[in-house]
């Protein structure tokens, strides 16, 4: 059971990190696709820098050992960003699979990575 959980954790974490790092870098360099996307959702272009930098820092936080509280914040930030992306697409009437599939899968990876993370990456809860 323990080996299965580690495999699930690392696959989900790897996919989460890859997706967030890729989108973070493309946001920071203001890739045309990201500029068009963020504009179509009604956000200002400078919002790309904010999202991009926080995504890159979040990836570092979840991959680096220790800093358990920072990891919790990174997972929460990723969840808020992706649920906000879904809501933003729906709010502007974009019900396309293309617009929703990325954030939906990222939420799945966030939840799986967070749930299956090893004990040494969790904050100890005292009773």
pLDDT tens-place string over residues 31-71: 999 999 999 999 999 999 999 999 999 999 999 988 999 99
> What CA–CA distance (Å, rounded) separates 5 from 97?
30
Strand, helix or coil for residue 123:
coil
pLDDT for the residue 122: 85
What are the E-state strand segments in the chain? Answer: none
Q: Is the pLDDT of residue 125 over 80?
A: no
> What CA–CA distance (Å, rounded) separates 13 from 111?
10
Q: Is the pLDDT of residue 119 over 90?
A: no
Q: Is the pLDDT of residue 121 over 90?
A: no
């Amino acid at each position: 059971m323990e080996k299965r959980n580690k495999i699930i954790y690392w696959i989900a974490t790897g996919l989460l990190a890859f997706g967030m790092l890729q989108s973070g870098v493309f946001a920071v360099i203001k890739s045309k696709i990201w500029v068009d996307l963020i504009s179509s959702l009604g956000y200002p272009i400078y919002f790309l820098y904010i999202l991009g930098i926080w995504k890159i820092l979040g990836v570092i936080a979840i991959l680096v050992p220790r800093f358990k509280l920072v990891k919790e914040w990174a997972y929460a930030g990723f969840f808020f960003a992706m649920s906000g992306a879904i809501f933003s697409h729906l709010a502007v009437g974009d019900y396309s699979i293309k617009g929703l599939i990325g954030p939906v899968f990222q939420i799945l990876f966030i939840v799986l990575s967070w749930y299956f993370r090893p004990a040494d990456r969790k904050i100890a809860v005292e009773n």
